[in-house]
């Protein structure tokens, strides 16, 4: 064979080989491409997903000791009250959904506190109030968190009560390094405690917001938690902690009484639901805003999902408009069902969802949405244990550092959830003694066949529409729970109307077209905390496998239960 022919053959072979290597490399790169920042946690053991790593680890440690999903949730929530004090704590309220894997039964718990007996519309108007005050003693309602823990533990707990609070006591006493996002949230503390010397003493050591990585300690809270661990919930509602709450309230001319605290009990409630495509989605009934998430899903289901994807122009426009319709109904009808008649059945009917959907103009934004006529700052965590039982739990002070009032000597702030009452006597949410206010915090659950998912996405008014977007990501677009949680979202703007907050990961051309349709967009960073911080667990009852997801918008993690290694 001539040399030139041989060399030509070698050259061709090398080109073919190079092309093969290039194709293989492209396939490997493509196989590793994805739209989420994190992988799911997958294990045959339990998982605890929270917005703070130490809280997730604490809950996972409780599971490893033989604790139930509820035990782990209480432990994790107690740690969050220490490590995210502006978001939640024993001065706030709590809601939970529990799914029993063995019986396939759902339980709902509403542990939101009521207004003091002496807090009335007349009382506030006599003080010159024209609307409900925020961040004052008159916005403080009875905190329900500890009573909620007690109710959950009494029904579904395994480990002794005292064991569950030990991780939180440790972090309060020994301290923990402040993470990045929590440091940013802490920045409101100087303003929040401008009129509260006790709050400045506890939460602004050396007069400053703790730096990232600085170890923060709260020995007063450690002592408070130790009393609850030793004496149970009575220590909070009838003992020394109750007396400290009452003394703090009295010093500020508050109306809280010993009876308001001692007589409070959580309420076991039946979750409400709707179907979306082939999934069943559950929320808790009013006084929470879960019904808005379900109504929004019904409105969205009236038309097919856009094949262009969840961040396409038609899909985003439809969801934004569906949100406005559902929120208009929520604002008009929501309240405490023990005091007001709420047309829940009508609001959640598929026919009503179709009627509301007909009001969506596919070519333009509606900036003035009215309510229809149907017929008749927060933390979220979720846990699945090795048996598949799921807890979906949310707990909050409402605004950052709640009322800005720190219980003297106890190391925790009181919530200002009462700020959501109305002073309009005709409103279903009108202030009244022993009434629970409109509540923003909502845990959720969804299932289809063998797939059971506990999920929640915190953040005030953001929550119903964030839930609906999450459900759609799974039901319409086949995302796994981590992808569905991280996918770019929009949320409600404080000014409402056509004002929308949206993440910058949405394509610029789509944003431009939304603006042209009349939407007014505030564009935030790629993973904005404005969209809320979520956590998710999934149990597959066919395989017995558990999956966990934690939001890249938070400092937290989904931590698997460590197995018992052979000695």
Axis crossing angle, helix 290-301 with helix 350-357, rounded to the nearest 10: 70
Axis crossing angle, helix 219-231 with helix 166-174, rounded to the nearest 10: 160
83 noted as active-site residue: no
Q: Which two tokens stand for residue 393?
A: 């739990």
The count of C-alpha atoms lying within 13 angstroms of the C-alpha of 36, restricted to the half-sphere facing its C-beta, is: 17
| Marked catalytic residue, from 83, 255, 378, 491 | 378
Q: Collapsing DSSP states into helix, strand and coil, what is residue 392? A: strand
Radius of gyration of the chain (CA): 25
Cβ distance 252 to 198 under 8 Å? no
Residues 120, 59: Cα–Cα separation, whole Å: 40
Residues 220, 37: Cα–Cα separation, whole Å: 38
- Strand pairing category for 279-283 and 272-276: antiparallel
393 phi-psi bin (left φ>0, alpha ψ -120 to 50, beta other):
beta
CB within 8 A of 99, min separation 6: which ones? 105, 106, 107, 389, 390, 392, 445, 452, 454
Q: Which two tokens stand for residue 3?
A: 């040399």
Residue 130's closest CA among 423, 430, 419, 420? 423
* Lookup result for tokens 């949320």: 491
The count of C-alpha atoms lying within 13 angstroms of the C-alpha of 64, restricted to the half-sphere facing its C-beta, is: 14
Q: Give catalytic residue positions.
A: 378
């Amino acid at each position: 064979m001539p040399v030139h022919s041989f060399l030509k053959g070698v050259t061709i072979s090398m080109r073919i080989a190079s092309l093969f290597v290039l194709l293989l490399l492209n396939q490997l790169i493509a196989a590793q491409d994805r739209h989420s920042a994190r992988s799911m946690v997958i294990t045959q053991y339990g998982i605890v997903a929270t917005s703070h790593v130490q809280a997730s680890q604490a809950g996972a440690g409780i599971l490893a000791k033989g604790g139930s999903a509820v035990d782990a949730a209480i432990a994790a929530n107690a740690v969050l009250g220490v490590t995210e004090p502006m978001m939640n704590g024993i001065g706030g309220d709590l809601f939970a959904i529990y799914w029993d894997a063995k019986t396939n039964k759902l339980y709902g718990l509403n542990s939101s506190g009521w207004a003091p007996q002496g807090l009335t519309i007349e009382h506030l108007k006599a003080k010159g109030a024209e609307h409900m005050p925020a961040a004052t003693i008159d916005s403080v309602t009875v905190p329900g968190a500890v009573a909620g823990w007690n109710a959950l533990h009494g029904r579904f707990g395994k480990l002794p009560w005292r064991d569950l609070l030990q991780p939180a006591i440790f972090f309060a006493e020994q301290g923990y390094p402040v993470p990045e996002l929590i440091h940013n949230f802490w920045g409101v503390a100087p303003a929040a405690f401008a009129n509260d010397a006790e709050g400045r003493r506890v939460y602004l050591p050396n007069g400053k917001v703790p730096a990232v990585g600085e170890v923060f300690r709260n020995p007063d809270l450690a002592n408070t938690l130790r009393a609850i661990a030793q004496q149970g919930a009575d220590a909070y509602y009838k003992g020394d902690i109750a007396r400290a709450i009452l003394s703090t309230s009295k010093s500020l001319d508050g109306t809280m009484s010993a009876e308001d605290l001692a007589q409070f009990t959580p309420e076991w409630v039946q979750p409400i639901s709707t179907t979306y495509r082939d999934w069943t989605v559950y929320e808790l009934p009013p006084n929470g805003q879960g019904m808005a998430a379900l109504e929004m899903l019904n409105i969205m289901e009236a038309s097919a999902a856009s094949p262009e994807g969840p961040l396409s122009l038609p899909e985003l426009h439809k969801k934004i408009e569906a949100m406005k319709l559902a929120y208009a109904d929520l604002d008009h009808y929501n309240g405490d069902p023990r005091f007001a008649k709420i047309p829940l059945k009508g609001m959640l009917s598929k026919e009503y969802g179709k009627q509301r959907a007909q009001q969506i103009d596919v070519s333009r934004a509606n900036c003035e949405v009215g309510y229809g006529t149907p017929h008749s700052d927060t933390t979220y965590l979720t846990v699945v244990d090795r048996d598949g039982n799921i807890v979906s739990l949310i707990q909050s002070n409402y605004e950052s550092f709640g009322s800005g009032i720190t219980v003297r000597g106890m190391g925790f702030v009181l919530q200002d959830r009462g700020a959501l009452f109305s002073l309009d006597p005709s409103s279903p949410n009108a202030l009244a003694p022993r009434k629970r206010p409109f509540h923003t915090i909502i845990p959720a659950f969804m299932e289809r066949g063998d797939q059971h998912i506990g999920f929640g996405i915190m953040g005030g008014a953001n929550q119903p529409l964030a839930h609906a977007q999450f459900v759609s990501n799974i039901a319409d677009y086949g995302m796994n729970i981590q992808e569905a949680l991280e996918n770019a979202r929009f949320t409600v703007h404080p000014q409402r109307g056509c004002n929308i907050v949206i993440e910058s990961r949405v394509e610029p051309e789509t944003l431009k077209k939304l603006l042209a349709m009349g939407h007014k967009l505030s564009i935030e960073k790629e993973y904005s905390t404005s969209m809320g911080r979520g956590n998710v667990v999934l149990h597959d009852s066919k395989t017995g496998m558990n999956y966990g997801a934690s939001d890249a918008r938070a400092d937290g993690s989904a931590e698997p239960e460590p197995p018992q290694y052979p000695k």
